Structure 1
Amino acid sequence: MSKHPNLNIPVRAALLLIVVRLAFHFADINWPEFQMVYLFIAVGGLIPLCIYAIWPRPIVPPFIKEVATAMRIMAVYAIIMIVFIIVFYAFIDKAYFVEKQTEILQGALETADPSEYGKLKQQVEDFFSLRNFSVLLLIGFVISAGFYALFFTILKQLFLKNKQ
């Protein structure tokens, strides 16, 4: 008898997205908004994992246990994805943040005083950095995972209650 949910599933999902991202990078398929689309897909991957974790089974666990189970499955996936994304930008695509900082700075200079260039450049570099991006990524995954775990577990409870 297999144990549900299986922790191999979030690992496989993360590895699939990692392989896809690396393939796109090394094939030089990086259209301008690809980074945001990839992050959207990576965070969106939490939804099917959450549904898988709480999928109906013969023994219905208590609400809190079910939320915890969903969070465990999504945490495995999120940790792998966060580590990969940080490593990817720190060692593989090092130019991404420099390019984005330059893009943001050019846009800001169109409306700012040119004499403020040094100060503005420092603010952009401080704000749009791998460190800040990593923190936002972690917060985004945690909030999304918590929301999905609660939302889908409540939805399942309501659905099962109405079905009985």
Structure 2
Amino acid sequence: MRRTLTALAVAIAAAATLTACIGAAPAATPTQTEHALPSTGPTNPVDDGEVEIPAEASTESGVAALQAASTALTTFAQPDLSAAEWWKQMLPLLSQAAAIAYEGTDPAEIPVHQVTGPGRILEGSTEVSLIVEVPTDAGAYNVTLIRGDPTAPWLADRIRPALG
């Protein structure tokens, strides 16, 4: 009983302290916010509410993306390789997020054995992100490709069966 009362007293004291801290924060006055305009420049750009839409993928970019998707899926579709050899071949083709996601993959569990035709870029492609649908012996697969900027190489971010 004594421990319960002590714990209750400590909880009440903590709640009172937190309430006092919250109540102690000064409220912004209209004069403070009216005169505190953000500076402009590369370290503190003004957010004007506009969203910059990446440019659509160019023809040259699309050709590179189709090749990258085919290479990634062909490399992915090697269920007869040892896990170590498969990983050694896959890692340079993957984005950082994909490398984390696919680490530890057992290639023997991959149902794809070969790419069976040319890929096609799905609608909504940009210079930095797109999806290529690639036919395989296990059905169509989508390879999501990304890159940091339009001059960087395409990297596979996700490889999965196509829906539908």
Same fold (TM over 0.5): no
Q: Please tell me whether Structure 1 or Structure 2 has the larger radius of gyration of its CA atoms.
A: 2
- Higher fraction of helix: 1
The TM-score bracket by the shorter chain reads: under 0.3
Greater strand percent: which structure? Answer: 2
